[in-house]
Amino acid sequence: MNWDAVGAIAEAVGAAGVIATLLYLGVQIRANTRSVRASTRQETVHGGRQVNLALAQDPEFSRIWTDGLLDFDALPRHERVRFASIATVFLHEFQNSLYQFEQGTLDQVSFENSRVQLSVICSLPGFASWWERNEIYRFYPAFEQLVDELTAEGKKPDTQAGRAADDTAGER
């Protein structure tokens, strides 16, 4: 056997090793991506759950939120401050969903679920009133644009979000 043949065999074995390594890395990257996405989804669900749990456990907190969503201006000043705090916490959760979706770590279905929930909140007159005057709290520009669009859409008389909000308000 000559050295040229040995060299060719060594190159073939080396190339096969590189290909096997690349395939292995591809599998590992896919598994890591799935893990990151699952973790991101879990974290967004957990954040929303924590806010909802706080509302469910505190009747006054819940009353301020629901009254403010319907008529922010009718709230006493100290309750408007609390409403603003609640709204800000909710919005940060929704903003996180948008950011994670844009980064590719939150799936389309999870993002759309968050967007539907946000559109219902944005369609309510008290929230829209608060949002229009909101200059203290700043959010991610793309998120502010989304809230602006959803709030404007909610003001149209025949939007789905508006109908959903009316149906919900009518059940009380």
Over the stretch 14-36, which tens digit does the pLDDT of each residue have? Answer: 888 889 888 888 888 877 777 76
Distance CA 118, CA 128 (A): 12
pLDDT at 41: 65
**Average pLDDT score, the chain:** 82
Q: 87 pLDDT band (50/70/90 cuts)?
A: very high
Cα separations (Å) of 48 from 13, 27, 85, 102, 125? 53, 32, 15, 19, 22
pTM: 0.68
Enclosing domain of residue 104:
3-170
- CB of 144 closer than 8 Å to CB of 94: no
- CB of 72 closer than 8 Å to CB of 80: yes
Counting the structural domains of the chain, the total is: 1
pLDDT at 158: 54
In whole angstroms, what separates CA 163 from the centre of its chain? Answer: 22
- CB of 151 closer than 8 Å to CB of 120: no
